[in-house]
């Protein structure tokens, strides 16, 4: 059994965020998948993004990685708006921010060998083929993969192996930020631990930041320093991971916490079944249908993000009086 230790906060370099989203919105049809979300990823830190399916996690990640154009708002890479990047610095951004998707089998071209897929990813680098291959071999060694997989095709590898190849592909370009979109949810329980400790190990060896997307608050807490909780397109709680895990303040976070850690005995009794078709008033709090401490004002107007203490925010009317405590 191996144990992995997270990089200590002391070693973190706080020099302004590397990747930052400011009041991002993305409209699909008539509905906002992401509604006024601001998010920052600092150097050498792991940021968790938690929420259920349909909450806009993946859309947000795609916007931050430059794969989707936001309807409004700005993405800043090292302080510069993506829209204002020159052709050269756009390439820099593309190298610096990588994304790893949930299902590795869908993330690779089934007709390419692994070697070709990896070499393909390195087209942005000016180096001769020998150097590139050397780099691939080094990284394969680092993620404990055998060289023999290079000539195989994606379908010949297991899910865990292929997810490692996906990490290699992301790391080949020496990125500063990697967005990990549910990297373990398609994998077996015993493999999940391998992948998570590999991620921590890779981070210790080089100065990269992660945006770790998951629906499991427990995993988010275990791997990240700060967590953002998303619900229906908005951030409902954000702040230090330990603090959130010890005392979740927003009722939705509390529900996620209960689901991730508790036993099913007595789980759903206090909360109504989450029915996605439940109709909601446009103006009120988005969580009101499932909330167990709703008041009249929750139906009328949506709460803003209240700052509870330094860098800890909650979107709930009930937390308003507790500001500054």
Partner 1 sequence: MVFFDSVSINYITSKTIIPALKNVNLFINNGDHLGLVGESGSGKTTLALAIPRLLPNNAKIISGRILWYDTDILRASAKSLNQIRKNISIIFQNALACLNPLLPIGKQIADVLRYKAGKSVIVSKIRAIDLLAQLGFTNPEQLARKYPFELSGGMAQRVLIAMAIAAEPRLIIADEPTTGLDVIVQMEILHLWRDLLSQFKSALLLISHDIRVVIDLCEKIACMYHGEIVEKGVTQRIVSDPRHPYTAGLMQSFYGIQKRMFPFIPGVPTVSVQEQTCGFLPRCSFRTEKCLVEPPPYVQIEEGWEVKCWRPLGLQTCA
State the residues that interact with partner 1 by CB under 8 A: 1-4, 6, 52-53, 158-161, 188-194, 196-197, 200, 215-219, 221-222, 255-256, 258-265, 267-269, 273-276
How far apart are CB 50 and partner 1 at their closest, in Å? 9
Nearer to partner 1, 19 or 241 (CB): 241
Nearer to partner 1, 71 or 103 (CB): 103
The Cα 40–Cα 98 span in angstroms is 16
Nearer to partner 1, 174 or 188 (CB): 188
The Cα 51–Cα 176 span in angstroms is 24
Nearer to partner 1, 51 or 70 (CB): 51
How far apart are CB 307 and partner 1 at their closest, in Å? 27
How far apart are CB 107 and partner 1 at their closest, in Å? 17
Nearer to partner 1, 135 or 250 (CB): 250
How far apart are CB 215 and partner 1 at their closest, in Å? 5
Residue entry with tokens 């100065």: 207
Q: Report which secondary-structure segment, H or E, holds 116.
A: helix 114-121
- Read off the tokens for 175: 């990125």
Nearer to partner 1, 176 or 203 (CB): 203
**What CA–CA distances, in Å, run from 116 to 5, 111, 121?**
34, 10, 9
| DSSP category for residue 10 | G
Nearer to partner 1, 6 or 152 (CB): 6
**How do strand 306-309 and strand 97-100 relate by DSSP bridges?**
unpaired
Buried-state track 223-256, b at ≥16 Cβ within 10 A, e below 16: bbbbbbbbbbbbbbbbbbbebbbeebbbbbbbbb
φ/ψ of 178, rounded to 5, equals: -120, 125
How far apart are CB 66 and partner 1 at their closest, in Å? 27
How far apart are CB 263 and partner 1 at their closest, in Å? 6
Q: The sheet that has 46-50: what strands, in order across it?
A: 97-100, 177-181, 209-214, 46-50, 226-231, 234-240, 312-314, 306-309
Q: Reduce the DSSP state of residue 83 to 3 states and report it.
A: helix
How far apart are CB 225 and partner 1 at their closest, in Å? 12
Q: Residue 112 in contact with residue 153, Cβ under 8 Å?
A: yes
| DSSP category for residue 269 | T
């Amino acid at each position: 059994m191996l144990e992995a230790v997270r990089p200590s906060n002391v070693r973190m370099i706080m020099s302004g965020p590397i990747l930052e989203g400011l009041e991002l919105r993305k409209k699909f049809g008539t509905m906002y998948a992401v509604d006024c979300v601001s998010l920052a990823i600092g150097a050498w830190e792991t940021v968790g993004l938690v929420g259920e399916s349909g909450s806009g996690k993946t859309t947000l990640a795609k916007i931050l990685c430059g794969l989707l154009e936001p309807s409004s708002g700005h993405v800043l890479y090292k302080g510069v708006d993506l829209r204002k990047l020159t052709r050269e610095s756009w390439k820099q951004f593309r190298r610096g921010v990588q994304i790893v998707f949930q299902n590795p089998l869908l993330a690779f071209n089934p007709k390419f060998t692994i070697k070709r897929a990896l070499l393909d990813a390195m087209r942005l680098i000016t180096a001769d083929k020998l150097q590139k291959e050397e780099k691939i071999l080094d990284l394969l060694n680092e993620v404990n993969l055998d060289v023999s997989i290079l000539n195989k095709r994606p379908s010949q590898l297991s899910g865990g192996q292929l997810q490692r190849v996906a990490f290699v592909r992301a790391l080949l370009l020496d990125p500063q930020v990697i967005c990990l979109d549910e990297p373990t949810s398609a994998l077996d329980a015993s493999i999940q631990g391998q992948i998570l400790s590999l991620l921590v190990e890779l981070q210790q060896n080089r100065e990269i930041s992660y945006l770790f997307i998951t629906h499991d608050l427990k995993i988010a807490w275990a791997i990240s320093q700060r967590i953002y909780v998303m619900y229906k397109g908005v951030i409902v709680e954000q702040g230090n991971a330990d603090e959130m895990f010890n005392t979740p303040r927003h009722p939705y976070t509390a529900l996620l916490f209960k689901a991730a850690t508790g036993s099913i005995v007595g789980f759903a009794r206090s909360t109504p079944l989450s029915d996605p078709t439940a109709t909601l008033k446009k103006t009120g709090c988005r969580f009101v249908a499932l909330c167990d401490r709703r008041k009249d004002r929750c139906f009328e107007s949506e709460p803003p993000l209240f700052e509870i203490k330094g860098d800890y925010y909650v979107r709930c009317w009930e937390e308003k009086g507790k500001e500054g405590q």
